[in-house]
Structure 1
Amino acid sequence: MAGIAEKFTSLLARPSDETAPPDGAPWYLKYGVRVLGIVAAFFAMLFGLWNCLSIIFFSVGCLVSGVLQIFAGFIVMAVEAPFCCMFLEHAQVIARKADERPMWNRAALYCIIAIPPVIFCPGLGSIFGCGLIFATGVVYGMMSIGKKASLEEMRNNAQSQNSSGGITTSDKASIVNNAQPFSFTGAVGTDSNV
Structure 2
Amino acid sequence: MSFQDKISALMARPGQDPVAKDDVPWWMKFAGRAVGTIGGFLAMALGVSVCITLSATGILAGIWQILAGFVLICCEAPCCCMFVEHVQKLADFIESRPYWNRAAVYVGLSLPPIIFAFGISSFIGSGLIFATGVIYGMMALGKKATAEEMRQAANADNTPVAPSGMRSNLVAHAQPIGFSGAPVFDSNV
TM-score by length of 2: 0.74
Out of 76, 84, 90, the residue aligned to residue 86 of structure 2 is: 90
Residues 73-95 of structure 1: per-residue CA shift (max 9 Å, x gap): 01100000010111112211111
1:158 match: 154
Contact 1:61 1:121 in 2 (8 A): yes
Q: 1:38 to 1:14 in 2, by over 3 A?
A: farther
| Residue 18 of structure 1, CA deviation | 4.8
Q: CA distance change for structure 1 residues 35 and 151 in 2, over 3 Å: closer, same or farther?
A: same
Does 1:126 find its partner at 2:122? yes
The residue identity in structure 1 corresponding to 2:157 is: Q
SS of the equivalent of 2:22 reads coil
Other-structure match for 2:101: 105
The aligned length equals 153
Does residue 80 of structure 1 match 2:76? yes
Letter of the structure 2 residue corresponding to residue 92 of structure 1: Q
* Match in the other structure for 2:60: 64
- Gapped regions of structure 1 (runs ≥ 5): 1-5, 166-174, 176-194
How far apart are the structure 2 equivalents of 1:16 and 1:72? 29
Find the aligned partners of 1:128 and 1:16 in 2 and give their Cα distance.
Answer: 37
* Equivalent position of 2:3 in the other structure: none
Q: Which residue does 1:54 correspond to in 2?
A: 53
Q: After TM superposition, give the deviation of residue 162 of structure 1 in Å.
A: 3.8
- Which protein has the larger Cα radius of gyration, Structure 1 or Structure 2? 2
Q: Deviations over 1:100-153 (max 9, x none)?
A: 111000000000010011111111100110000001101100110011100111
Partner of 2:20: 21
Tell me which residue corresponds to 2:183.
none
The more displaced of 14-23 and 152-161 is: 14-23
Distance 1:15 1:131 in 2: 34
Counterpart of 1:147 in structure 2 is: 143
Q: Give the stretch that moved more between structures: 127-136 or 83-92.
A: 83-92
For residues 31 and 142 of structure 1, do their structure 2 counterparts lie closer, same or farther at Cα, with a shift above 3 Å needed?
same
Matches of 2:95 and 2:29, distance apart in 1: 13
The structure with the greater share of residues assigned to helix is 1
In structure 1, give the amino acid aligned to 2:52.
L
Q: Deviations over 1:45-83 (max 9, x none)?
A: 00011122333xxx1211111100000001100000010
Instruction: Indicate if the aligned counterparts of 1:16 and 1:99 stay in contact, CA closer than 8 A.
Output: no
After the TM superposition, which residues 170-181 of structure 1 pair with which residues of structure 2 at under 5 Å, given as runs?
none
- Determine the C-alpha separation between the residues in 1 that align with 2:58 and 2:70: 18
